[in-house]
Amino acid sequence: MSVAPYERVKLARDNSRPTGLDYIKNIFQGFIEFHGDRCYADDHAIVGGIAKLNGQPVTVIAIEKGHTAKERTYRNFGAPNPEGYRKALRLMKQADKFGRPIICFIDTSGAYCGIGAEERGQGQAIAENLMEMSTLCVPVISILIGEGGSGGALALAVADRVWMLQNSVYSVISPEGCASILWKDAAQAETAAASLKLTAEDAKSLGVIERILSEKDMGKKEFYERIRTLLTEELQELSDDVDLISKRYDRFRRIGEGAAKEQV
């Protein structure tokens, strides 16, 4: 059974999917939310704090889209501003200091395209996250749960392990955006979606992610339990690794190495 790439995009965007906070509440115990970037504001599109995973303290960060119309407006539809990325980095550095593993849940159409976002350095905020995450001393696992929109998603995904839900997508540009730029026709989004190779299977075969998570019983107790078990096991393995930072470097270093061909 195969689902067309553009259908995957629609599934990934579906309002009824569990959002970041659903994962936090159902996988971890005793979540304590921490707010603000200590610079400008508290971005409601990114939720972060500390919680326990099977008794172990961890830092959790999630891009939250909200479910109801009111929630979605409050969360800016999961499109973070620079202060969201700065809050996330602040919490990651806090985790680094106290030796807590970091788990990120990603679900965004992209970093917010706004006047204020540009004025406050959206590009700089993302750049700093990419740079700083590459040398965090603690294990980082990032899970794409819905949309993985470009740099705005990557800013929370410079991780040791990146996993994707079966019907989540991860892309450098939205298929509609790609179609309108390349073919001046947003209606060609289907073709773009297929060409961009944005499904979980594509990402895995390109070596961009390690694992695809099944959506069986999505939103039910069993679903979250399964993810909790996987996270616990993976963190166990990563915590024993003394070579974490250089392996994380190599993880990204090799991507696209073969695509950049050298002439003989």
Partner 1 sequence: MAFINFIKPKNKLEEGGRTAAPVQQDAGEPEKKCPNCRKDIPLSRLWANNLVCSCGYHFRMKARQRIQMIVEKDSFQELYADVKAGNPLNFPGYQEKAETVRQISGEEEAVICGTAQIGKEKCCLFVMESYFMMGSMGSAVGEKITRLFEHATKHRLPVIGFTVSGGARMQEGLLSLMQMAKTSAAVKRHSDAGLLYIAVLTDPTTGGVTASFAMEADIILAEPGATVGFAGARVIEQTTRKPLPAGFQTSEFVLDHGFIDRIVIRSEQKKMLAELLEMHRGGNA
One symbol per residue from 90 to 129: x for binding partner 1 (CB under 8 A), - otherwise; what is it? ---------------------xxxxx-xxxxxxxx-xxx-
Among 104, 178, 189, 244, binds partner 1 (CB under 8 A): 178
Closest by CA to 17, choosing from 168, 164, 157, 163, is 168
Stretch that binds partner 1, among 4-12, 36-44, 200-208, 222-230 (CB under 8 A): 200-208
Among 63, 102, 196, 218, binds partner 1 (CB under 8 A): 196
Closest by CA to 61, choosing from 44, 49, 51, 69, is 49
Applying CB under 8 A, the site for partner 1 has a residue count of 57
Binding of partner 1 by 69 (CB under 8 A):
no
State the Cα–Cα distance between residues 146 and 107, nearest whole angstrom: 5
229 phi and psi, to 5 degrees?
-60, -45
Residue closer to partner 1 by CB (options 99, 256) is 256
Contact between 91 and 49 (Cβ < 8 Å)? yes
Closest by CA to 145, choosing from 23, 5, 228, is 23
Binding of partner 1 by 211 (CB under 8 A):
no
State the Cα–Cα distance between residues 190 and 194, nearest whole angstrom: 6
State the Cα–Cα distance between residues 214 and 115, nearest whole angstrom: 38
State the Cα–Cα distance between residues 188 and 113, nearest whole angstrom: 23
State the Cα–Cα distance between residues 63 and 248, nearest whole angstrom: 22
Stretch that binds partner 1, among 15-23, 58-66, 96-104, 197-205 (CB under 8 A): 197-205
Binding of partner 1 by 203 (CB under 8 A):
yes
* Site for partner 1, residues 235 to 254, rule: CB under 8 A: 248-249, 252-253
Minimum gap (Å) between residue 64 Cβ and partner 1: 19
Binding of partner 1 by 259 (CB under 8 A):
yes
Which DSSP string corresponds to 104-172?
A: EEEEES-S---HHHHHTTHHHHHHHHHHHHTT-SS-EEEEEEEEEEHHHHHTT--SSEEEEETT-EEES
Minimum gap (Å) between residue 120 Cβ and partner 1: 7
Residue closer to partner 1 by CB (options 33, 137) is 137
Binding of partner 1 by 184 (CB under 8 A):
no
Minimum gap (Å) between residue 192 Cβ and partner 1: 9
State the Cα–Cα distance between residues 113 and 129, nearest whole angstrom: 18
Among 72, 197, 211, 226, binds partner 1 (CB under 8 A): 197
Binding of partner 1 by 81 (CB under 8 A):
no
Strand pairing of 46-53 and 29-34?
Answer: antiparallel
Q: Which residues bind partner 1 (CB under 8 A)?
A: 111-115, 117-124, 126-128, 130-132, 134-135, 150-151, 154-155, 157-158, 170-173, 177-178, 181-182, 191, 195-198, 202-203, 206, 208, 248-249, 252-253, 255-263
